[in-house]
Each structure stands twice: as C-alpha cells, then as structure tokens.
C-alpha cells in the first residue's frame, strides 16, 4: 500500500510539471504573437548617379515607403557649403551610390548619400571664354598706290578687312598733276564744299571695333573724297585711327578735321608714313598704340 501511494505521488508530480511546462510554453507563444513577425527584408538602392541630392533622397524615401518600411532615414552627408543643394549640387558619375541594404523588419534603415566626388556647379572650372577677336577694318583711298600699300600692311598685321574708297569718277594722271594748279584734284582741294562721289559699294561698319582710315596728303590736307566718306558713316564709339602718306607733309590737322566732319567715333591722332614705309615701321607704330 505504501508502495502504491509513492507511485501515485510520483505520477501526480509528473502531471503537475507537465502542466506547468505546457502553461509556460503557451504564455511564451502568446507573448510571441504580440511581437511583430521578424523576417529579413531587402532594399536595393537605385542608381542615383547624376541626380540632384534632393531628388535622390526623395526617390529613395518613396521606394522605402512603397516597400513597406516605415522607420528610415535618408541623409545627405554634406552639402559642400551650399544652402540650396538642389540648385547647386548633384551626385557625380564616378560614385554610383548603389548598394543593397538588408534589414530586419523594425530595424531603422539609415542611408547616407556621401559623395566625395560631389561638386557644385560653381566649383567647376570656368569654361574658357572664347573671346571673339576684335574686328578691325582698314579703309583706304589711294591713287598712286602708296597709301594702299601701307593699308595692306596694316590689314596683314591686324588681320583686318580692307575697304577701298574708289571714286565714282576715277582720277586720271592729268587729274592729279599737282604742278597744274587747275588740275581736278587741286580744284577740289581749294573748294571746301567739294564732295567727290564714291563709286565703291557702301560698307557695313557694324561689328568693327577699330577702323583705320588712310589717305594721301593733297595740298596739305585730306582729299575731299575722304570728307565724302566720313560724312556718310556713323562711327558710333568705334576707335578710328587716321594714317596718311605724303611727299613730306605731316598728317597735320587732317584727323581732327575728319573727326569733326564725321561727328562720331573716337578718333586717335594718327600718323604719316613716307611711300617707303616698311612693314616693320607699321608694326612698330601699331605696337606703340597698344
Ligand atoms: C594733287 C596732289 C597734291 C599733293 N600734295 C602734297 C602735299 O601737300 N604734301 C606732300 O607732302 N605731298 C603731296 N602730294 C604727294 C602725295 O601725298 C604722295 O605722293 C602720296 O604718297 C600719294 O599717295 P597715293 O599713292 O596713295 O595716292 C600730293 C600729291 C597729289 C597728287
């Protein structure tokens, strides 16, 4: 009987222990169901190369949200001193910023877009400004070729266009025979109102920054056809540089007279050359004006 009693006690203890174990396991299971289910989740960052930071962040945030993540941070590592990264910065091509972020549900996702290659537009090397070469024009009137020769040398040195004033009625040898006081050229020179007509087509002066104007000295002054020329053009604020050739006379006040008749342009003093002027002489003069 005593033996039977011991056996019953042992069975009872086992049953109690088993019940306790079952209860404990159930409690654990209950607790487990309260917790969110943990499972691995994967987020693959898109290629944000070339995007503005703000746009890249927005894209990643939207993708994380639509993938079901609720707790995440997407940061920019630095703005490189600009308060407006959208306007000034974007992610450079050499750093792709792609990667796979594997997270457990509930764990905070933190993505930092750091870009050592990031640059601001205003950090870029300023592009070489393609300076348009200064457009230069050489205007010349010449009968026996001396002044035209100088004009061609100026045009070569200055890489300039050349415009020749050709009289509507060309000057014959007789016309320029200055030993004859009655020759056409001298008659014109003695008449301040004479304005010989120009036969060459009009030139468009727009775009020229500097205009050389050359002529021979006739009876101590500029040929009247030069008066015709300057009165027919607007030189605006262009630099005008007179030059002349002569037997011996200087340029005198011819430049000033032409400037007055033109009523426009910034006229320089100008220079007289002999018929024998060389390219070196012309170069030295041009250099002296720079
Ligand atoms: C009508 C006429 C008048 C001239 N008067 C002068 C003058 O007053 N002083 C001078 O030194 N040379 C004078 N010359 C010489 C020219 O100025 C010189 O030969 C000039 O270089 C000619 O230029 P061109 O070959 O471009 O026509 C005169 C020439 C002509 C045809």
pLDDT (tens digit, 9 = 90+) per residue, 251-263? 999 999 999 999 9
User: Which residue lies with its CA nearest to atom 2 of ligand 1?
Assistant: 218
What percentage of the chain carries pLDDT values higher than 90? 53
Give the integer Cα–Cα distance in Å for 261 and 204. 19
Ligand 1 near 186 CB (within 6 A): yes
Long-range (24+ apart) CB contacts under 8 A made by 176-182 are 176/143, 176/144, 178/218, 178/219
CA 216 – ligand 1 centroid, Å: 5
Instruction: Please report, to the nearest 10 degrees, the dihedral formed by the alpha carbons of residues 192, 196, 198, 204 taken in order.
Output: 10
User: Which residue lies with its CA nearest to atom 18 of ligand 1?
Assistant: 246
The predicted structure's pLDDT at residue 131: 73
Ligand 1 near 172 CB (within 6 A): no
Interval 182-215: pLDDT, tens: 999 999 999 999 999 999 999 999 999 999 999 9
User: Which residue lies with its CA nearest to atom 20 of ligand 1?
Assistant: 246
Place of tokens 């060459």: 200
Ligand 1 near 249 CB (within 6 A): yes
Q: Taking the domains of the chain in order of start, what are their residue ranges?
A: 38-122, 136-288
What percentage of the chain carries pLDDT values higher than 70? 61
Q: Which residues, listed in sequence order, are joined to residue 242 by a DSSP beta bridge?
A: 213
Contacts of 15 (CB under 8 A, 6+ apart): none
Q: The CATH number of 136-288 is which of 3.40.50.360, 3.40.47.10, 3.30.9.10, 2.30.30.100?
A: 3.40.50.360
CA 224 – ligand 1 centroid, Å: 13
State both tokens at 290.
């720079």
Ligand 1 near 250 CB (within 6 A): no
Average pLDDT over residues 265-275: 97
Closest atom of ligand 1 to 214 CA is: 26
Ligand 1 near 149 CB (within 6 A): no
The predicted structure's pLDDT at residue 106: 45
Give the integer Cα–Cα distance in Å for 110 and 115. 16
Average pLDDT over all residues of the chain: 78
| φ, ψ of residue 133 in degrees (nearest 5) | -65, 140
Confidence of residue 61 (pLDDT cuts 50, 70, 90): confident
The predicted structure's pLDDT at residue 123: 46
In whole angstroms, how far apart are CA 217 and each of 137, 248, 272?
21, 9, 9
Closest atom of ligand 1 to 149 CA is: 26
Confidence of residue 170 (pLDDT cuts 50, 70, 90): very high
Taking a C-beta distance cutoff of 8 angstroms, is the pair 158, 191 a contact? no
**More confident position, 13 or 61:** 61
**More confident position, 91 or 11:** 11
Q: Examine the pLDDT at 90 and tell me if it is beyond 90.
A: no
Q: Examine the pLDDT at 290 and tell me if it is beyond 90.
A: no
Interval 102-124: pLDDT, tens: 444 444 455 555 443 333 344 44
Q: The CATH number of 38-122 is which of 3.30.70, 1.10.3470, 3.30.10, 3.90.1600?
A: 3.30.10
């Amino acid at each position: 009987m005593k033996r039977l009693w011991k056996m019953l006690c042992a069975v009872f203890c086992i049953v109690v222990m088993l019940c306790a174990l079952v209860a404990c396991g159930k409690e654990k299971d209950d607790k487990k169901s309260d917790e969110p289910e943990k499972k691995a989740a994967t987020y693959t960052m898109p290629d944000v190369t070339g995007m503005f930071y703000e746009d890249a962040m927005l894209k990643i945030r939207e993708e994380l949200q639509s993938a079901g993540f609720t707790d995440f941070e997407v940061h920019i590592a630095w703005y490189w001193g600009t308060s407006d990264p959208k306007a000034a910065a974007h992610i450079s091509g050499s750093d792709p910023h792609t990667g796979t972020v594997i997270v457990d549900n509930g764990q905070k996702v933190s993505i930092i877009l750091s870009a050592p290659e990031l640059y601001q537009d205003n950090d870029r090397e300023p592009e070489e400004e393609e300076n348009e070469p200064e457009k230069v024009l050489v205007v010349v009137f010449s009968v026996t070729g001396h002044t035209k020769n100088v004009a061609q040398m100026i045009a070569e040195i200055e890489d300039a266009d050349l415009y020749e004033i050709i009289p509507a009625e060309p000057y014959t040898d007789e016309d320029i025979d200055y030993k004859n006081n009655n020759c056409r050229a001298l008659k014109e020179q003695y008449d301040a109102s004479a304005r010989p007509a120009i036969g060459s087509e009009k030139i468009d002066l727009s775009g020229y920054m500097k205009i050389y104007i050359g002529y021979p000295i006739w009876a101590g002054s500029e040929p009247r056809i030069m008066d015709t020329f300057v009165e027919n053009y607007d030189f605006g604020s262009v630099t005008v540089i007179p030059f002349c050739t002569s037997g011996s006379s200087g340029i005198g006040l011819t430049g000033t007279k032409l400037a007055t008749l033109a009523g426009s342009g910034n006229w320089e003093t100008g220079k007289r050359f002999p018929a024998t002027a060389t390219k070196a002489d012309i170069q030295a003069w041009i250099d002296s004006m720079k």
